[in-house]
Amino acid sequence: MKELIVYRESPWKLLLTISFLVLISTAGAASDFSAVEHKRQTIYHSPQSPGFTSWVGAWTMPDGSVMVGFTQATGPVESRPQAPKEVQRQLTWPPAGHAGYDMTGLDMQNVYLQSKDAGKSWQKVSEDEFKTCMNGVTNEALTALADGTIVRGVFGFYLPYDRDLPQTGFLQRSNDGTKTWSKPQVPIDANQYSTWPRRIRLLRDGRILLLSGVAQTPAGSQTRAEFSKSVEPALLLSSDQGQNWTGPIPAIHADQRGGWTEEFDIAELDNGDLLTLYRRESDAKRWQGILKKSNDTWVAQKAHQSVLPHSGQPELLATREGPILHVATSGIHWTTDAGQSWQKLDVSGSAYYPRSVQLKDGRILVVGHVGGDNAYGTVDQSIVMDSFRIVDNDIPIAHRQSLRTDKLVGERISLGVADDYKPCIAKLPSGELLLTAFHQHKREGTKVMEQTSLFRSNDGGRTWTDGQPLKLLGREPYLTVLKDGTVFMTGHLLNKDVQSQWGYTTGFLHRSTDGGKTWQSTRVESEGIKPNASNHTSRNVLELADGSLLLGVDYGGGGGPYFMWRSTDGGKTWDKSQKCEPKDFKSKYGFFGGETWLWQARSGKIWSLVRVDSNELPIKDRPIKAGNDQADHFILFSSVDRGKSFDRIRDFGDYGEMYMSLLRLQDKRLLLTFTVRDLNPPLGVRAHFGTETEDGFEFDFAHDRVMLDTKTGRRYQGGGFGPTVQTEDGTLVTSYSYRGTDGKSHLEVVRWKAPTIP
């Protein structure tokens, strides 16, 4: 921790107190996640007791519903026929001395359930019959594609009574929600390979991975015991929604052949690598490794024994909050460092051979069966489901002084696609949340095309729609919502954007009176004012106490001019003639275009929080030599004449702190959110609670700093932004982007609660 230096000033009688935090570096402790709202419920029991229901699969449908599939057997416990001796020899089944494992003569069904209310209730959708002496042939390898097609993997070797079926792993597709299934599709050459499908995983780029145990022998040429000794984990890859497959891609290093099983699972990391957990034949611990992305495939790195105990088929879940979960009967563990370390989640272990999914609202469902690998009729099996949420239990408060806790709890929700950037959040009077972000697409040479997207949430930020592309020009879209629900969006279109036709960077103001469904656009013109000069607006539109509106507009290159646009009809029309004079301000950059944020005090005084170049306008008595704009800082200016002129008051915050905004909270405090972009890692979004005075506000930057987002760490800046809204129940929702380990920016919101007033 570097030395902490605090500056305090109180010029004249201005009721504004600011503490400056200088040269502070916060390491940012790793997050600590916990489970909340946990409960277990039985979702299905066989029509007879003791029941046999096991080997579960679970997946989500494109409509948000969740489905479960499992094996069910019914029939007499005693006096059943046994498999023919040749079948018993080929399948090494039943195990010696355990005749009850032979399922011959039982009514065997694949049963499918669906829930449309986040797992609260379940309805049987379908069941299809099969015959085998084994105790299951499918259901663990199940998923739904983007068009609603359901794909399942079946181990045909376990279906000896139907020789028309492939005696190896095959896939089937259903286009009617599991009611009917297609003919078998063998993904790779059965004359060369025997395969056992274990998992089907969808990648972020739309491709599909089929996780299989693979033996390099023709299908049906080995006994089950021989297959088990030669099988190794491998990947099959499809780039056309499962119609064709390539592989196998080895999932183990060439120097570590032998001793594996068909049971393994993967989780896709931000950089495209695959965290992989394996079950070995004779180890008491899980093994883990990394399959390193290499162009369009993966190369297995050497695996090693992990700290996780053995517990059947590995099950991994990459959550939207960031952690990857390992779900097992022995407990649920999480990692945020690609398995370098694992921590146990404070929730009980799962039922046997679990499958897990995460719903759109963040709730995690874990489905498994009561019992274990049991002989028929020996244990009363049922299908049970655990449900819970995970929250970040460690949003640190740096240099706590007046707050009552050292850390807060937050629920993190990811949205958008990789390289979406700089989100801005706002709340409509109805309570619906809007969030904008933009995405830069490279074009020929140095040209770009930047696209704005709009996201919506009707549950306080827990779930979001996909981004709706807007036909609006301008990058870094920033939202303002008036009391009557009118929405404004500011932004600026770069001259190098292929959509530009004006020859300079130009600002835009977009307006919507129907919650962002339709928009009307106003371009800021340089013609007739300062030809060919870049122009910008203030970040927000300021709604004054009397209902009139202000928008700052200026022109780059030094010396302005600076204007304060005014509207008295809710932004339908603007008086663009009023010039503005910022005193003690001299810069080649704009006064408003430097991302100024406007705010009105109770007295009517108007404040401008102005981002400035730190070389041109350094912090008083602490000049620096900034190498780029990541070291910019903010200066406060105030106006007592409704924006005709602004007086320079003082520095606000430290170098590298920007994108500031204020929010009046329900408990009368103020919340300042901003982004740390350089000098004091970890980079990301911070917050301070302050006090509103008649003329302004009081903030202490030296204490009680809420570290809302630290994911970028020491990597190159990832955007930040960080405006905040408050929902009716008091929840705060802050938006931000961060730079991931893949080098790309990612969008998130964090839902959190303000600590109580001391």
* CA distance to 115, 150, 152, 196, per residue, from 70 (Å): 15, 15, 12, 17
Model pLDDT, residue 394: 84
Kindly tell me the number of DSSP H helices and DSSP E strands found in the chain: 2, 52
How far apart are the C-alpha atoms of 541 and 450, rounded to whole Å? 23
How far apart are the C-alpha atoms of 178 and 197, rounded to whole Å? 18
Answer for the pair 354, 327: CB distance below 8 angstroms, yes or no. yes
Q: What residue ranges of the chain have pLDDT lower than 50?
A: 1-29
Model pLDDT, residue 239: 96
Taking the alpha carbons of 426, 631, 524, 449 in that order, is the dihedral positive or negative?
negative
Answer for the pair 453, 467: CB distance below 8 angstroms, yes or no. yes
Taking the alpha carbons of 578, 579, 580, 583 in that order, is the dihedral positive or negative?
negative
How far apart are the C-alpha atoms of 467 and 24, rounded to whole Å? 37
Q: Is 105 helix (H, G, I), strand (E, B) or coil?
A: coil
DSSP label at residue 323:
P
**Helix, strand and coil percent figures for the chain, each rounded to 5:** 5, 45, 50
Residue type at 219 in one-letter notation: A
DSSP label at residue 116:
S
Vertex 514: Cα angle to 510 and 516 (nearest 5): 50
Model pLDDT, residue 721: 85
Identify the helix (H) or strand (E) that includes residue 89: helix 85-91
Greatest distance between any 2 Cα atoms in the chain: 100
Q: Is 225 helix (H, G, I), strand (E, B) or coil?
A: helix
Rg (CA), the chain: 30
How far apart are the C-alpha atoms of 16 and 694, rounded to whole Å? 10
Ramachandran quadrant class, 94 (left: phi over 0; alpha: psi -120 to 50; beta: rest): beta
Identify the helix (H) or strand (E) that includes residue 308: strand 304-309
Model pLDDT, residue 165: 95
pTM: 0.85
pLDDT digit string, tens, across residues 667-722: 999 999 999 988 888 999 999 999 999 999 999 999 999 999 998 988 878 778 87
Domains of the chain: 1-30+400-418+675-758 (no CATH), 33-392 (2.120.10.10)
CA atoms within 13 A on the CB side of 123: 7
How far apart are the C-alpha atoms of 566 and 578, rounded to whole Å? 8
Model pLDDT, residue 364: 97
Model pLDDT, residue 243: 95
Straight-line distance from the first to the last Cα atom of the chain, in angstroms, rounded to the nearest whole number: 27
* CA distance to 25, 142, 281, 366, 495, per residue, from 315 (Å): 38, 13, 17, 10, 49
Q: Where are the beta strands (DSSP E) in 93-223?
A: 107-115, 123-130, 142-144, 150-155, 169-174, 194-202, 208-215
The two beta strands, 324-328 and 331-335, are antiparallel
Model pLDDT, residue 152: 97
Q: Which two tokens stand for residue 517?
A: 């469904």
How far apart are the C-alpha atoms of 505 and 242, rounded to whole Å? 46
CA atoms within 13 A on the CB side of 481: 23
Q: Where are the beta strands (DSSP E) in 46-168?
A: 52-60, 66-74, 107-115, 123-130, 142-144, 150-155
Answer for the pair 139, 70: CB distance below 8 angstroms, yes or no. yes
